[in-house]
Amino acid sequence: MILRSTLLFLVASASLGARAASPDADQARRIAEQFLATKQAAAGPQEAYEASEVVAADLDGDGEAEVVVLWTMLGPTYWHHGVTVLARKGQRYVPAGEAEEPLGSVEGMAVRNGAIELKTKWPGPNDARCCPTVPKTLRYRWSGGRLTPAK
């Protein structure tokens, strides 16, 4: 019975083709949490990482979904946001690109038509450091294995 089940699994797997299925929302969240656990392991004990939003989407049209993670690093008196693209390499997802510029105070993320869009707030001339009020939308494209600013 075990041999028959294994054989059926192998035949079914072969018929699905070489590409693996895109991760669903729960799988994408677990992939993001594993990524952030590695960042946490490299950080000091006073910093913590958490995922704000996680989206699985095919950013470059190659038929394979990437996992986009909007994360926050929280320190004792400081914080900052980051966005990282995790791409499939073999059976795993690995960090493949990250926004290199400051993102301001990120309020939300959307992924549409291969573009990552971040709704942010930046400090105005009379704003306290804690409370930015100037809205700004940042857009990024995933191309050539890099995350680059887009118009």
pLDDT digits (tens, 9 = 90+) for 13-57: 333 334 567 899 999 999 999 999 999 999 888 999 999 999 999
Is the model's pLDDT at 91 over the cut of 70? yes
How does residue 144 score in pLDDT terms, banded at 50, 70 and 90? confident
Let me know: does 57 contact 37? Beta carbons within 8 Å. no
Q: Residue 70 is encoded by which pair of tokens? A: 């909007």
Query: pTM above the 0.75 mark?
Result: yes
Query: Quick check: 3 pLDDT over 80?
Result: no
pLDDT over threshold 50, residue 130: yes
| pLDDT surpasses 60 at 94 | yes
Q: In the predicted model, what is the mean pLDDT of the chain?
A: 85
